[in-house]
Amino acid sequence: MYAQVIDTGSDRVRAIGEMPEEEKVFMARIEKGEKIEPKDWMPEGYRKTLIRQIGQHAHSEVVGQLPEGNWITRAPTLERKAILLAKVQDEAGHGLYLYSAAETLGISRDEMTELLHAGKMKYSSIFNYPTLNWADIGAVGWLVDGAAIMNQVALQRTSYGPYSRAMIRICKEESFHQRQGYDLLIKMCQGSPEQKAMAQDAMNRFWYPALMMFGPSDKDSVHSEQSMAWKIKINTNDELRQKFVDQTVPQAKYLGLTIPDENLVWNEERGAHDFTQPDWNEFFDVIAGNGPCNKDRMAARVNAWKDGAWFREGLAAYAKKLPLRKQAV
Ligand SMILES: [Fe+2]
Ligand SMILES: [Fe+2]
């Protein structure tokens, strides 16, 4: 899942008249809906913004495996274990497609990994929250993958070809993720009172962090405008958040779960729900590294990188020897 653009760091939006000739051609192609490919000319800001966005997205897929991976050995049935294993494996695959897409922009996967470990590249804030009970696995699939899909469906039309093509494949798998989460919660909500209570507890803890996944409100999202002009971003954060709330309310009703927001009400005039915004101070605090699980997540990633050193070295040594062997033959 999981693009959450906090700061795209791009240039301000320029008028067409201010642009050099090649940039005018580039903008005309974007406006026509043409895809930009790796060897095409692109403004430096476009390239950097994409590296940041795709890199952050790739890291989120990989770090996102940690809260769920924690439950593979605790899954209550063989069937649930197989489903969860498949889902977590999909997320690793999403990370790989996205690292590959970012590499076409002139950064290596190793460099991105180093930036993540140095705290210079981020991943989605949601994965800094713990998964405390089995119903959390349902809530992650339903709400977290659900919020991710909301973002990613639009990104299938993003202007950068490799990113857009990766998103088409990812979206197909994400809808399976959301459905397995919802299916798990249906079972729990129709189960014993204790199981229903676990589902409600998961809903209470994941609702606001899921709303945060769309990033800060449009008025505080400084670089949205440029990203939208470049069609790197298709909808605003607030539009997507609203869509997510409107989609989720009837689903929660069907489960018999209460959304933890007393102000949540249908607004006839707007044709949408009014709802309470998440605590943005908490969001910025989590992004800054002070969430409940930030340190654990980073330690797990850094250790995995260290533990895999022997394997990467082996691969590099083999790659070096291969041409020599071919020569000898
Ligand atoms: Fe994913
Ligand atoms: Fe997913």
Of 66, 37, 218, 40, the closest CA to residue 140 belongs to 66
Looking at residue 315, its pLDDT comes to: 94
Looking at residue 8, its pLDDT comes to: 43
Looking at residue 328, its pLDDT comes to: 84
pLDDT (tens digit per residue) in 177-203: 999 999 999 999 999 999 999 999 999
90 CA distance to ligand 1 middle (Å): 7
pLDDT (tens digit per residue) in 31-62: 999 999 999 999 999 999 999 999 999 999 99
Looking at residue 4, its pLDDT comes to: 54
**Residues in the chain with pLDDT values less than 70:** 1-13, 222-223
The H-or-E segment that residue 226 falls in is helix 224-229
Q: Write the CB contacts of 291 (distance below 8 Å, at least 6 apart in sequence).
A: 125, 128, 129, 285
pLDDT (tens digit per residue) in 201-211: 999 999 999 99
Looking at residue 12, its pLDDT comes to: 60
DSSP string, 193-219: HHHHHHHHHHHHHHHHHHHHTT-S-GG
84 CA distance to ligand 1 middle (Å): 13
Looking at residue 1, its pLDDT comes to: 44
The pocket of ion ligand 1, defined by CB under 5 A, consists of 1, 61, 91, 94
Q: Give the CB-side neighbour count of residue 57, counting CA atoms within 13 A.
A: 32
pTM > 0.85: yes or no:
yes
**Nearest ligand atom owner, CA of 152:** 1
The H-or-E segment that residue 267 falls in is strand 265-267
